[in-house]
C-alpha cells in the first residue's frame, strides 16, 4: 500500500563519472548561483527508525541529522528498530535496499520515498555505509529536488555530492522553519 501512495522517489544515480554527469549543468564556480528547492514542512516531526538490517548505525544517522539541524532542519529523534512491515505515519525507516524495491526502482543507487507536499512517513534505502550518500538522502526528508552544482550536499549524483551547504538555510526559511 505504501508503494502505491508514494508521490515522489528521489534517487542518486549510480555509475556515472563526473564528465558523464555534468550535462553542461553541473559545475562549480563563483558565477554559479546555487538554488536549493524549498524545504517542505512536516505536520509533525517524524521519528527516524534505524532498521536492524540497515548498513548504518543510530549514532551515524544522529550525527548526520545534527549536520542538517545546523543548516536549518528541525532536530529529529533517532531510535533503533526491527522495522517490521512498511513505514507508518510519523516514522521514517532507514534500511538497506529491499529486494522488492530494487526491482521497481531500477538504476538508483539510493532512494528516499516520502510524500512531497504533505509528508507523513518515509523510507530511505541505502546500499552501504557511505555517509555522504546517507547525508544526501536524509536531506530529501525535507528537500524534494536537487541542485546541479558540483560538490553540493544535494547534487544529484554520487560523484558530485559534497560538503557545500550553500542555500540550504534559505531553503528551510522559505519552507517556514
110-124 CB burial, b ≥16 within 10 A, e <16: bbbbbbeeebbbbbb
Domain boundaries, the chain: 2-174
pTM, two decimal places: 0.85
Query: C-alpha cell of 145?
Result: 529536488
**Which tens digit of pLDDT belongs to each residue from 90-111?**
999 999 998 888 888 888 899 9
Q: What is the pLDDT, as a whole number, of residue 112? A: 94
pLDDT(17) > 50: no
Q: Which residues contact 141 (CB under 8 A, 6 or more apart)?
A: 46, 73, 92, 112, 114, 119, 122, 124
Least confident of 7-11, 26-30, 38-42, 66-70: 7-11
Q: What is the pLDDT, as a whole number, of residue 152? A: 97
pLDDT(78) > 50: yes
Fold held by 2-174: Collagenase (Catalytic Domain) (3.40.390)
Q: What is the pLDDT, as a whole number, of residue 10? A: 41
Q: What is the pLDDT, as a whole number, of residue 33? A: 78
**Which tens digit of pLDDT belongs to each residue from 119-173?**
899 999 999 999 999 999 999 999 999 999 999 999 999 999 999 999 999 999 9
141-174 CB burial, b ≥16 within 10 A, e <16: bbbbbbbbbbebbbbbbbbbbeebbbbbbbbbee
The candidate with the shortest Cα–Cα distance to 148, out of 55, 32, 25, 48, is 25
Amino acid at each position: 500500500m505504501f508503494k502505491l501512495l508514494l508521490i515522489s522517489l528521489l534517487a542518486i544515480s549510480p555509475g556515472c563519472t563526473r564528465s558523464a554527469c555534468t550535462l553542461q549543468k553541473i559545475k562549480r564556480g563563483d558565477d554559479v548561483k546555487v538554488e536549493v528547492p524549498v524545504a517542505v514542512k512536516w505536520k509533525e516531526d517524524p521519528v527516524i527508525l534505524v532498521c536492524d538490517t540497515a548498513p548504518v548505525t543510530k549514532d551515524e544517522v544522529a550525527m548526520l541529522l545534527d549536520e542538517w539541524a545546523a543548516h536549518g532542519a528541525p532536530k529529529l529523534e533517532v531510535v533503533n528498530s526491527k522495522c517490521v512491515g512498511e513505514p507508518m505515519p510519523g516514522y521514517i525507516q532507514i534500511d538497506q535496499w529491499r529486494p522488492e524495491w530494487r526491482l521497481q526502482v531500477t538504476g538508483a543507487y539510493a532512494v528516499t520515498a516520502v510524500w512531497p507536499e504533505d509528508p507523513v512517513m518515509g523510507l530511505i534505502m541505502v546500499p552501504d555505509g557511505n555517509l555522504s550518500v546517507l547525508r544526501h538522502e536524509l536531506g530529501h526528508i525535507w528537500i524534494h529536488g536537487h541542485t546541479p552544482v558540483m560538490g553540493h550536499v544535494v547534487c544529484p549524483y554520487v560523484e558530485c555530492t559534497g560538503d557545500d551547504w550553500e542555500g540550504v538555510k534559505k531553503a528551510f526559511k522559505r519552507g517556514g522553519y
